[in-house]
A and B are shown apart, each in its own frame.
Chain A
Amino acid sequence: DIQMTQSPSTLSASVGDRVTITCRASQSISSWLAWYQQKPGKAPKLLIYKASTLESGVPSRFSGSGSGTEFTLTISSLQPDDFATYYCQQYDLYPLTFGGGTKVEIK
Chain B
Amino acid sequence: EVQLVESGGGLVQPGGSLRLSCAASGFTFSDHYMDWVRQAPGKGLEWVGRIRNKANSYTTEYAASVKGRFTISRDDSENSLSLQMNSLKSEDAAVYYCTRVGVKRLPDYWGQGTLVTVSS
Interface residues of A, Cβ cutoff 8 Å to B: 1, 32, 34, 36, 38, 42-46, 49-50, 55, 87, 89, 91, 94-101
Contact = CB atoms under 8 A, between A and B. Distances in A.
A38 B62 CA distance: 23
Interface of B: 35, 44-47, 50, 61-64, 97, 104-108, 110-113
A55 B108 contact: yes
A96 B42 CA distance: 20
Given A43-B97, A50-B104, A91-B105, A96 B47 contact: yes
Contacts of B112: 42-43
A94 B110 contact: no
19 contacts: A43-B110, A44-B45, A45-B110, A46-B106, A50-B104, A87-B45, A89-B45, A89-B47, A94-B50, A95-B47, A95-B61, A95-B62, A95-B64, A96-B106, A97-B47, A98-B45, A100-B44, A101-B44, A101-B45
B106 A89 contact: yes
Majority SS of interface residues in chain B?
A: strand
Given A43-B112, A98-B47, A34 B63 contact: no
A11 to B, nearest CB: 16
B107 A46 contact: yes
Contacts of B108: 46, 49, 55
